[in-house]
Amino acid sequence: MKNVFLRRLLAAVLFLALAVGLLSLAGAVLRPPQVSYGSTWRAYRAEPKNTMDVLYFGSSYAYCDFDPVEIYRHSGLTGYVMGGSEQTMSLTYWYLREALETQHPQAVVIEPTGVFFEKYQNYTQTNVAYMPLSLNKLGAIFTAAEPELRTGLLFDLWFYHSRWKEVRPSTVKAALTPARTDTRKGFTAVEGTAEDLVLTRNPRPLTDAQYEENLGWLLRCLELCKERGIQAIVLLNPCYSQCSPEQYQRLEADLAAGAPEATFVNWVDAFDGLGLVPEEHLYDGGHLNRYGAAIYAAGVAELLTEEVGLTPMTQTDENAAAWQAAVDSRDA
């Protein structure tokens, strides 16, 4: 009787594992591909392990402003942007943990505007759904996602089952084919310039309790970098849709007290010094356009090499050639 029970239990476990595997596979096929505007995990995981000098994190302020290919042009430092639309600090923490599963960079750059976000923003589903299945994704689901989204984030079919009519053989092939690297390295270029551009310095309506919670997640990011021997840089990018100066001052003081080993840089008003012309280089109040990001890359490269003191790691001939090809594609 005992052997029969064990065989039935094993059969039930195998059936459950097969069912979960098939459901996960179906969800991966039905889920739309994510190749820009952050959360580009498939392309990131295709990068050769431990080849990134710098990883960049944050909201769209990160993936629109940090152009790793142009930074490489000016410094030789490889890098990738693992940002996400309206990425909160809690999500940044789990992104950082997951990103460090395959890379051990010299430095991590965090654009910290997410400290002034609400607990939940508008793009949690996209930010979390595309993370690789891991304990870090589970951490994001249960600590950084709205409770009503958790079922769909655990089982993709909950969100994407209605797309079955759109599935073609090419859709299945793309989902099951091993991912390839992306020459943009997580950067999303936006075109055009803002109309009626107005500089605003308004405090975000955030409670002290929410600010402290967000700050706590940022400090966890910085502590993780410290534990791994990674230099942390907290960098506020140039923008016209600014928080109040008092909010930035409070953040700087709190980081000086809580993470003195981290480098804090406030460039929200540094347009002239960086060679940026707001009317030409801002896509809107918060984001640089393609040409602004290319100019900004020179300033970021100088910060990383001259002030932080980074030097490029040695790359294989193949990876060095791939990075040079990415630079050449921009020139073409």
| pLDDT tens-digit profile, the chain (332 residues) | 667 666 776 776 776 666 555 555 555 666 677 788 999 999 999 999 999 999 999 999 999 999 999 999 999 999 999 999 999 999 999 999 999 999 999 999 999 999 999 999 999 999 999 999 999 999 999 999 999 999 999 988 767 766 656 666 766 566 667 778 999 999 999 999 988 898 999 888 899 999 999 999 999 999 999 999 999 999 999 999 999 999 999 999 999 999 999 999 999 999 999 999 999 999 999 999 999 999 999 999 999 999 999 999 999 999 999 999 999 999 88
CA separation (Å) from 304 to 117, 180, 294, 311, 322?
27, 28, 16, 9, 22
Per-residue model confidence (pLDDT) at position 2: 61
Q: Which two tokens stand for residue 188?
A: 């999303």
CA distance 93 to 217: 6
Q: Which of 268, 318, 281, 307 is nearest to 194 (CA)?
A: 281
Q: Which two tokens stand for residue 221?
A: 């990011």
Contact 186, 44 (CB under 8 A): yes
Q: Which two tokens stand for residue 102?
A: 């395959």
Q: Which of 165, 173, 123 is nearest to 144 (CA)?
A: 123
Paired sense of beta strands 54-57 and 79-81, if any: parallel
- 120 burial class (0-12, 13-18, 19+ CB within 10 angstroms)? middle
Q: Which residues contact 48 (CB under 8 A, 6 or more apart)?
A: 316, 319
Q: What is the largest CA-CA distance in the chain?
A: 81
Per-residue model confidence (pLDDT) at position 300: 98
Residue type, 24: S
CA distance 62 to 286: 10
Per-residue model confidence (pLDDT) at position 164: 59
Per-residue model confidence (pLDDT) at position 179: 74
- 86 burial class (0-12, 13-18, 19+ CB within 10 angstroms)? buried
Q: Which two tokens stand for residue 245?
A: 């100066």
CA distance 28 to 78: 29
Specify the length of the chain in residues. 332
Please give the distance of CA 298 from its chain centroid, rounded to a whole number: 21
CA distance 319 to 325: 10
